[in-house]
A and B are shown apart, each in its own frame.
Chain A
Amino acid sequence: MDHILELNNVSKKYKEFQLNNISFNLEKGYIMGLIGPNGAGKSTTIKLIMNLIKKDSGEIKIFGKDYKKDEIAVKERIGFVYDENYFYEDLNLLEMKNIIAPFYKNWDEEAFQKHIKVFNLPLKRKIKELSRGMKMKYSLALALSHKADLIIMDEPTSGLDPIIRNELLGILYDVIQDEEKGILFSTHNTTDLDKIADYITFINNGEMVFSESKDEIMNKYKIIKGGKEILTDDIRKSLIGIKEHNYGFEALTTNSVLLKREFKDEIIIENATLGDIMIYIVRGNK
């Protein structure tokens, strides 16, 4: 298979937090969203992939190679964008590029210049004088200028306005046009992914909830609304994150077809967004 990224039962233990048995695959040509609330373990997962922290157990393969043994070769082909800018803020964009570029054998200066132009970035300006959106675009310009086959983005849209976020999505569509590249995109802002993501990996509290194609997920999870009288113990078991109010209840379910057959017009079944799914699952059944 053409898996460009493969995680098998990856675990990492901290004093206060534990990431447990994370497993997912990313095929080339597709975009995977890594979602979950703040502190769920998304950044930890990405840091493990980038070998910024060491895993306790499990296996990580990138481009079919061991991510540690072939670390340098693997990183040649990874473009990364992190949520905060981790650049030397006193340098200007050109100086910083001149530091970064020589690390990559496949540095493509022409592509870089093109991105700088398209993103409208001032090369002579210091990094600390850039807006958040510009910093993200600058990171992206660097990530896209060395013929990377895997783009890893950790919360690239946090703190950005909807216009720039939408612009980013446009750029990502361009990246996957050639079918050779894959994108891993972590965010707690799921509206970024409602449209573009092909696969969603959902991590909650260090545990993996699912890793599936978005269409399957949207097909499976539905919002159910109805009167509280139908909430028997059995029914409650088939619902996720039930929220009761004075006049009825709302919940998430994976049994919408059966429930609809049983209760017909007594209930309403609606499509859920990724945000809904996240909210209901995180809420759980308390």
Chain B
Amino acid sequence: MLNLIKKEFLVQRKYSLIFFGYSIFMLIVLSLSPGGAVESVYAVAGVTIIYMFVQYSCAIEDKNNSEKILNSLPVSRNKIVFSKFISVILFSVFITVIIGLLGELFTKLSFLYIKKISIEEIISILTTAWILASVYLPIYFKFGDIKAKLFNIIIFFVFFSGSLLFNSIIKIFFQNSFTMPIIDSLSNQGPIIIGGIILLIAIIIVTLSAAISTKVYYNREFN
């Protein structure tokens, strides 16, 4: 399985400069002025790049029709699925560190309004990217990349409308007298515990998504 994960990075090697250049570009452009953009600079840059990685990864398989080879090798389909998930997780951690370090560097430049990356921002990059990947990958494993690309639009729609829905749910949740004590006790906790809980939820979603992926991939046909 290790060489499958290695493969994920090897085939995207030629995009590494794009990823790096894009990180610098986004960080600089989004933090040129004070206001809204600079507050979400890390999240926007991080999530975009991680999502690009997921997209490229699937597109490369499709372009080279390489799944026929992979599935003809003595390797289980589960490992093929897991290695994709693991490589996405590894990449997201890696890119978060990179943009964190870049941000650190850029704070020295006086014309930028960027601040140092915070733990909340790290968590929001990881959870958002992971949840996006958790939606995209099962569709890719079920239908292949071309159809998954079509779903992209739907995914974005669902994601943004979903976040609106999520907001209203949260509101109801917060106003509910039964849940109030739980919320209160939560908000009394430090940000690390709240972040930890959110991260834990994201991990559960990723795990569920991986489980669904192995199931649909097992029945996938390569014509």
Task: Knowing A52-B222, A54-B219, A54-B221 are in contact, say whether A75-B72 is a contact too (CB < 8 A).
Answer: yes
- Encoded as 1 (CB less than 8 Å from any B CB) or 0, chain A from 95 to 109 comes to 100111011110000
Q: B residues within 8 A CB of A95?
A: 10
Which residue of chain B is the closest to A103 with respect to CB atoms? B73
8 Å CB contact of B74 from A47, A75, A98: A75
The answer to whether B69 touches A53 (Cβ under 8 A) is no
8 Å CB contact of A100 from B11, B63, B73: B73
CB distance from B128 to the nearest CB of A (A): 29
What interface size band does chain B fall in? 20 to 34
CB distance from B53 to the nearest CB of A (A): 16
Task: Knowing A72-B74, A75-B74, A104-B74 are in contact, say whether A87-B219 is a contact too (CB < 8 A).
Answer: no
- Encoded as 1 (CB less than 8 Å from any A CB) or 0, chain B from 190 to 223 comes to 0000000000000000000000000000010111
Residue A51 is within 8 A (CB to CB) of chain B in the complex: yes
A86 to B4, CA, bound (A): 16
Which residue of chain A is the closest to B11 with respect to CB atoms? A88
A105 to B60, CA, bound (A): 27
Which residue of chain B is the closest to A127 with respect to CB atoms? B64
- Encoded as 1 (CB less than 8 Å from any B CB) or 0, chain A from 41 to 81 comes to 00000010011111000000000000000011111101010
Q: B residues within 8 A CB of A52?
A: 68, 71-72, 221-223
A75 to B74, CA, bound (A): 5
Across the A-B interface, the 9 shortest Cβ-Cβ residue pairs: A75-B74, A52-B222, A53-B221, A102-B3, A86-B69, A76-B74, A86-B68, A103-B73, A86-B65
- Can you list 20 A-B pairs, Cβ within 8 angstroms, ordered by A? A50-B71, A50-B72, A52-B71, A52-B223, A53-B223, A71-B74, A72-B75, A72-B76, A78-B72, A80-B72, A84-B65, A86-B66, A87-B66, A87-B69, A90-B14, A98-B3, A103-B3, A103-B73, A103-B74, A103-B75
Beyond A72-B75, A88-B7, A88-B60, 5 extra complex contacts between A and B, CB < 8 Å = A47-B222, A76-B74, A95-B10, A98-B3, A99-B4
